Chains A and B, each alone.
Chain A
Amino acid sequence: MYQLFKAKAEGVSAEVFRFAMCEEALDFIIRFLQKEGVADEPYASAVWADSPFLKRIDRGALEKIAGLKFAVTRESAAAARFGISQMEWGLADTGTLVQNSTAIAQRLVSSLTSIHIALVPTDGILPDMPTLLSRVRPEVCAYIAMITGPSRTADIERVLTIGVHGPERLVIVFVDELGGDN
């Protein structure tokens, strides 16, 4: 299912990576942020919303990154270039990520920033939408958010253009250690 997910997500311009261990994923994210020029300046900073991933790693390495904040507010998110969050599920047949986004911070980091990095447990990949809806009930998730690729529009002359109101890049990082062996 991972292969199908990857193909579908890449088909809508998402970038898909997979790591066995949390440490490897962490290393990837740090290098990614640095390469992209993360800094403690407006529109160069990063916000990281509360994620189970953060409890499984040594956060020491993250504290050294200038401009990376864990306190997500509308101001910090609006000023950030990078938003990092963990999403619970993937839908293989459309390359979609799904999250219980009831907590507002989860939505801010994935909607106000330019680059959204989404961590996903590899075994969170489900075959399709019906399977998801049979597992995730609105009674317990007030805001179910689905994300398929970066923000896009074709409203001017039907020309596909990436990055309107939401992120212009979606970087998906699967981590096997977060669960499962899809």
Chain B
Amino acid sequence: MDNTFKESIQKAINNSNLTGALGKFSEAYKVNREKAYQGIDFEELRGRIAELKSFAAANLEELSERFTQKAEACGAKVFRTNDPAKVREYILKVAQDNGVKTVVKSKSMATEEIHLNPYLEKAGISVGETDLGEWIIQLAGQTPSHMVMPAIHMTKEEVSDLFSKEVNERLSSDIPRLVKVARDELRPRFLEADMGISGGNIAVAETGSIVLMTNEGNARLVTSLPKIHIALVGIEKLIANYADVATILKALPRSATAQLLTSYVSIITGQTPNTDGSMKDLHIILMDNRRSEMAADPKFKQALQCIRCASCLNVCPIFRLVGGHVFGKVYTGGIGTILTAWFDELKKSEDIQGLCIQCGACRDVCPGKIDIPELIMEIRRRLVQEKGLPLIQKAIYAVVNNRKLFHGMLRAASIAGKPFATGKFLRHLPLFLADLTDGRSLPAIASEPFRDRFRNIRQPKSQEKAAFYAGCLIDFAYPEMGEALIKILNSGGIEVIFPEGQTCCGAPARYNGAYEVAADNAVDNIQALLNEDVKYVISACPTCTVALKHEFISTFESVGLSGWIPKAKALSAKTVDFSTLIKKLVDEGRLSLKEGDEAGKITYHDSCHLKRTLKVSAEPRELLQKAGYQVTEMFECDTCCGMGGSYSMKLPEISAPILQRKLKNIKETGAPVVAMDCPGCVMQIRGGMDQDGAVVKVLHTVELLAERL
């Protein structure tokens, strides 16, 4: 990872204004968004948006053509180009042909994308941003840190300093007063401007209309007062039908700012009269800038379903810590990582793609139904394809891909690590697991891994069998979780088999873009697990479960090993996570847990893969309740703990504050125990609690239930 990039992260995290403002906003956003969508079937709505936007993406040429015809028929001039340089030249030419001296702009990410302001200013044209946030960052000489709230990183004190300089008067930091200053300062500029430049939230092919949304009312002035209006629209804003405007208007303000509708929406179709009775000189620029290339890409065409609401930024546990500037100068956050890779270049996304912890929070809220984490993984995969893996990772995967060597090294680690272990925790792990984060103690490698302990476990025989897929953490760090699982399954009448040939699930390789390595892991595991005659393959690690159930198939698809897909599907059909299977056994009356509520208060942490990929969240809570625990929910129970596999090692400076927030939320419930279904989360949170000195016990649900049989 680039050093300046690491420094920018450090700087952002140490900026308490930024983390404070973003943290507060992200907490409020979740609640308000929920409220704004009350009574609306979000899944149905985003299904419609995905459909109409993917249709548009598949028909960009036709829709551009139709839009052009319609808009030109009502007097607009439409300019289509793929080239950002041509966009800039076109705008400058219109300005120069008409003797334009001053321009007012309403907010437009497309103009940011092509760096329009400095270009026009170099040509001697004064450009004034009028969106309050954009104006603030223009005065500060900065770039937007958020698509919808460009100045969210600044404090009122900073704004008052900027405004004071601008108006030559010492202003207080009273926000209504500052807003009034902006109104008074910008009003004459609106009235004097020779040209207005806007973006476009939607472009309608059927009618040649553009739709503009603002809360401040600046777009109305920009499109009404100057005699020339240029709208710069990325072609991903095209939709086929006028009626579909309602569909997007239903989602965009709700997702962007949790409003039912923005204060102002304008649908502009062709020329309108100016104040002097002449007709508006209306130019609409349809800009491609690699969007049609994106549309032709089987994976990335999905990204054109984006309606630019920025909700992926608002729910991102990383974004709220580091803000937008770490991501770059234009598009930020999850979708921004993808857009940067395309509109700028793949290489530019090299560092920022690593910011994604793959928690999946953005995928759940995206109104365009874009699988943002998946696309970021695809960027990783392509980067690895293009540039290869870093040497150190190559060495690691060479080991991981050789099961015997890998397991041998883990065993060696249990001995080598011993002198450093204090109790159950290890301060420094040897070998490639070294160089780990502060703020979290790591588990000692078990002296006897699960695969060895298994041989000594005596089980009652049964016709119904399940293969246990332990995963590296349970096998080598938490074998007691595996023992607990067997105890529970036996009690439910299932005999457990442990196929020795099982190895790493491939998730670490896959999440680092090394799909070939992940595919090798998948083949080894399929051979080991499908070799047994069992009804279920059960795992108590959601990340492994997701690998077995979903990712083997998609990894094979990505690397072109289609011959393995039927077997991967057969494995997928048998694979089940721990809580789901146990819940089933309890529901069928085959397994009973100790009832009563004497077990006491407990809080539950939702692991990302379990909740958002496997869609399991009620099951473990019901089981814990049935086992006599009173479940007290913590704040943000389903927000990532910051583990993210090797993420916590690569970006400890981000992982640690995410963990701290999680610890705080757990402690605030007052529950003496926190349960979770993922050994990775246990490693992170237990280690955090240990360093924190808190007395809260951190346990896997499997351990808690085994005590209550």
List residues of A whose CB falls within 8 A of some B CB: 8, 12, 73-74, 78, 93-96, 101-104, 107-108, 111-112, 128-130, 132-134, 137-139, 141-159, 161, 163-167
Q: How far is the CA of A149 from the CA of B217 in the complex (A)?
A: 11
Interface string of B291-313 (1 = CB under 8 A from A): 00000000000000000000000
- Asked if A163 meets B183 with Cβ closer than 8 Å, knowing A102-B272, A107-B220, A158-B149, the reply is yes
User: Nearest Cβ distance between residue A109 and chain B, in whole angstroms?
Assistant: 11
Q: Are A164 and B217 in contact (CB under 8 A)?
A: yes
* Chain A contacts for B273, CB-based, 8 A: 102-104
CB closest residue in chain A, given B268: A143
User: Nearest Cβ distance between residue A116 and chain B, in whole angstroms?
Assistant: 10
B674 at the interface (CB under 8 A from A): no
B25, B131, B262, B272: residue with the most chain A Cβ atoms closer than 10 Å: B272
CB closest residue in chain B, given A11: B260
Which B207-265 residues have a C-beta within 8 angstroms of A?
207-209, 215-218, 220-221, 224-225, 242-243, 245-246, 249-250, 257, 259-265
CB closest residue in chain A, given B273: A104
B24 at the interface (CB under 8 A from A): yes
Q: Are B132 and A153 in contact (CB under 8 A)?
A: yes
CB closest residue in chain A, given B180: A163
Q: Are B191 and A78 in contact (CB under 8 A)?
A: yes
Q: Are A158 and B250 in contact (CB under 8 A)?
A: no
User: Nearest Cβ distance between residue A8 and chain B, in whole angstroms?
Assistant: 7
CB closest residue in chain A, given B152: A158
Which residue of the partner chain, among A104, A130, A167, contacts B275 with CB atoms under 8 Å?
A: A104
Q: Are B132 and A143 in contact (CB under 8 A)?
A: no
Q: Are A165 and B216 in contact (CB under 8 A)?
A: yes
* Chain A contacts for B242, CB-based, 8 A: 133, 137-138
- Asked if A111 meets B263 with Cβ closer than 8 Å, knowing A134-B243, A157-B156, the reply is no
Q: Are B266 and A144 in contact (CB under 8 A)?
A: yes
User: Nearest Cβ distance between residue A154 and chain B, in whole angstroms?
Assistant: 7
Q: How far is the CA of A128 from the CA of B216 in the complex (A)?
A: 23
Which residue of the partner chain, among B152, B260, B266, B272, contacts A94 with CB atoms under 8 Å?
A: B260
Q: How far is the CA of A74 from the CA of B258 in the complex (A)?
A: 34
A103, A137, A166: residue with the most chain B Cβ atoms closer than 10 Å: A166
Q: Are A133 and B179 in contact (CB under 8 A)?
A: no
B21, B133, B257, B273: residue with the most chain A Cβ atoms closer than 10 Å: B273
Q: How far is the CA of A93 from the CA of B656 in the complex (A)?
A: 44
User: Nearest Cβ distance between residue A157 and chain B, in whole angstroms?
Assistant: 5
Interface string of B362-385 (1 = CB under 8 A from A): 000000000000000000000000
Q: Are B21 and A111 in contact (CB under 8 A)?
A: no
User: Nearest Cβ distance between residue B268 and chain A, in whole angstroms?
Assistant: 6
Interface string of B320-346 (1 = CB under 8 A from A): 000000000000000000000000000
Interface string of B492-518 (1 = CB under 8 A from A): 000000000000000000000000000
User: Nearest Cβ distance between residue A107 and chain B, in whole angstroms?
Assistant: 5
Which B185-212 residues have a C-beta within 8 angstroms of A?
186-187, 190-191, 204, 207-209
User: Nearest Cβ distance between residue B38 and chain A, in whole angstroms?
Assistant: 12
* Chain B contacts for A141, CB-based, 8 A: 267, 269
B570 at the interface (CB under 8 A from A): no
User: Nearest Cβ distance between residue B158 and chain A, in whole angstroms?
Assistant: 9
Q: Are A108 and B216 in contact (CB under 8 A)?
A: no
- Asked if A153 meets B215 with Cβ closer than 8 Å, knowing A102-B273, A138-B209, A142-B268, the reply is yes
Q: Are B221 and A143 in contact (CB under 8 A)?
A: no
A102, A133, A134, A142: residue with the most chain B Cβ atoms closer than 10 Å: A142
Some 12 contacts from A to B, beta carbons below 8 A apart, are: A130-B243, A138-B208, A142-B268, A142-B271, A143-B269, A151-B263, A153-B215, A155-B133, A156-B136, A156-B175, A157-B156, A157-B175
Q: Are B257 and A166 in contact (CB under 8 A)?
A: no
Which residue of the partner chain, among B249, B272, B275, contacts A142 with CB atoms under 8 Å?
A: B272
B616 at the interface (CB under 8 A from A): no
* Chain B contacts for A138, CB-based, 8 A: 204, 207-209, 242, 267, 269
Q: Are B267 and A165 in contact (CB under 8 A)?
A: no
B663 at the interface (CB under 8 A from A): no
Q: Are A129 and B249 in contact (CB under 8 A)?
A: yes
Q: How far is the CA of A153 from the CA of B224 in the complex (A)?
A: 20
Q: Are A146 and B132 in contact (CB under 8 A)?
A: no
* Chain A contacts for B264, CB-based, 8 A: 145-148, 151, 166
Q: Are B217 and A146 in contact (CB under 8 A)?
A: no
User: Nearest Cβ distance between residue B39 and chain A, in whole angstroms?
Assistant: 9
* Chain B contacts for A153, CB-based, 8 A: 132-133, 179, 215-216
Q: Are A154 and B257 in contact (CB under 8 A)?
A: yes
User: Nearest Cβ distance between residue A78 and chain B, in whole angstroms?
Assistant: 6
Which residue of the partner chain, among A96, A129, A155, contacts B149 with CB atoms under 8 Å?
A: A155
Which residue of the partner chain, among B159, B217, B271, contacts A165 with CB atoms under 8 Å?
A: B217
User: Nearest Cβ distance between residue A113 and chain B, in whole angstroms?
Assistant: 11
User: Nearest Cβ distance between residue A43 and chain B, in whole angstroms?
Assistant: 11
B566 at the interface (CB under 8 A from A): no
CB closest residue in chain B, given A161: B179
Interface string of B159-192 (1 = CB under 8 A from A): 1000000000000000110111011001100110
CB closest residue in chain B, given A159: B175
B130 at the interface (CB under 8 A from A): yes
Q: How far is the CA of A160 from the CA of B180 in the complex (A)?
A: 13
A138-B207, A157-B156, A166-B263 given. 13 additional CB < 8 A pairs? A74-B191, A96-B261, A112-B221, A129-B250, A133-B246, A145-B265, A148-B262, A155-B133, A157-B155, A164-B132, A165-B190, A166-B216, A166-B221
CB closest residue in chain B, given A144: B267
Q: How far is the CA of A102 from the CA of B151 in the complex (A)?
A: 33
Q: How far is the CA of A108 from the CA of B221 in the complex (A)?
A: 8
Q: Are A165 and B261 in contact (CB under 8 A)?
A: no
Q: Are A107 and B224 in contact (CB under 8 A)?
A: yes
CB closest residue in chain A, given B217: A166
B561 at the interface (CB under 8 A from A): no
* Chain A contacts for B257, CB-based, 8 A: 154
CB closest residue in chain B, given A103: B273
B152, B186, B217, B246: residue with the most chain A Cβ atoms closer than 10 Å: B217
